[in-house]
Homo-oligomer: A and B are copies of this chain.
Amino acid sequence: MNADYEGEMMATFVALEKKHDISGRVRQFIDASVRYHGFPAPGVILGAYMVDLALEKLGAEPGDRLFAVAETAKCVSDSIGVITGCTPGSSKFLLFNTGRIALAVGRDDGTGIARCVRAYVVCERTRSYPALRAWYFNEPDAKGNLPALLEDILVAGRGILGWERVDVPIPPKDDQWKPAICASCGEMVPDKMLVGDRCRACSAGSCYMEKK
């Protein structure tokens, strides 16, 4: 994707929001999510609808003390972070990667268990939205007509979502570690992250290319 394409999609998206009179709290949630993500990706818009539904069923507001679970590493975590404050870099967030397009938001009341509402896509309900369904099922060229896909998502809104109550034990903060120094790069890593006497980047399989 290039910047021109992103700009064009943004203009298309804003026009669609107007056309379908998307307003109120969910509009704020959608716009904040898209702004943070940088692009009107289907997943962040859907994510905003899911967070909105979960908060409503929970009777909660974004400023409340919350805990959240994302069930996919894609897109929806951006909506969760920017709307609820349960950011991926905080202890209020858990990535439980099932691959389902789903999330859960609950209150953290200090008991160690978050009483959450989980929002998810109900397969059957996508039938009425062909472009959305094609994207959901990862059909070839599903993103070929992004305007149609974005329109389907805005028209469907929470109409394709289901919800249920779930309880999530909040993982304890991972602060039980001692400092260790990588024998190769000399940087500090938590001892339990060492592979032998080296950090993961210096032992095997760095994401950085070897220097020639």
List residues of chain B with CB within 8 A of the CB of A30. Answer: none
Of the candidates A96, A121, A177, A181, the one having the most CB atoms from chain B within 10 angstroms of its own CB is A96
List residues of chain B with CB within 8 A of the CB of A190. Answer: 99, 138
Check if B209 sits within 8 Å of A113, measured CB to CB: yes
Stretch of A10-18, A21-29, A53-61, A72-80 with 4 or more beta carbons under 8 angstroms from chain B: A72-80
Is A189's CB within 8 Å of the partner chain B? yes
Size category of the binding interface on chain A: 35 or more
Mark interface residues in A176-212 (1 if CB within 8 Å of B CB, else 0).
0111011001111110010000011100001111000
Is A158's CB within 8 Å of the partner chain B? no
Q: A168-B209, A207-B69 are in contact. Are A188 and B123 (CB under 8 A)?
A: yes
Task: Kindly report which residue of chain B lies nearest to residue A139, judged by CB atoms.
Answer: B179
Mark interface residues in A129-153 (1 if CB within 8 Å of B CB, else 0).
0000000111000000000000000
Is A38's CB within 8 Å of the partner chain B? yes
Copies of this chain held together in the complex? 2
Check if A99 sits within 8 Å of B193, measured CB to CB: yes
Is A44's CB within 8 Å of the partner chain B? yes
Is A175's CB within 8 Å of the partner chain B? yes
Q: CB within 8 Å of B: which of A78-100?
A: 78-79, 81-82, 85, 87-90, 92, 94, 96-100
List residues of chain B with CB within 8 A of the CB of A136. Answer: 179, 188
Task: Kindly report which residue of chain B lies nearest to residue A99, judged by CB atoms.
Answer: B193
From residue A17, how far is it (CB to closest CB) to chain B in Å?
A: 20
Of the candidates A44, A76, A138, A208, the one having the most CB atoms from chain B within 10 angstroms of its own CB is A208
Binding site for B on A (CB under 8 A): 3, 36-39, 41, 43-44, 47, 65, 69, 71, 73-79, 81-82, 85, 87-90, 92, 94, 96-102, 104, 113, 118, 120-121, 123, 136-138, 166-169, 175, 177-179, 181-182, 185-190, 193, 199-201, 206-209
What 4 pairs between A and B have smallest CB-CB spacing? A99-B193, A78-B89, A99-B189, A96-B207
Can you report 24 residue pairs joining A to B where beta carbons are below 8 Å apart? A36-B81, A36-B82, A37-B90, A38-B85, A69-B207, A71-B201, A77-B88, A78-B89, A78-B90, A79-B89, A96-B201, A96-B206, A99-B190, A100-B182, A118-B208, A123-B186, A123-B188, A136-B188, A137-B179, A138-B177, A138-B190, A166-B208, A167-B209, A168-B208
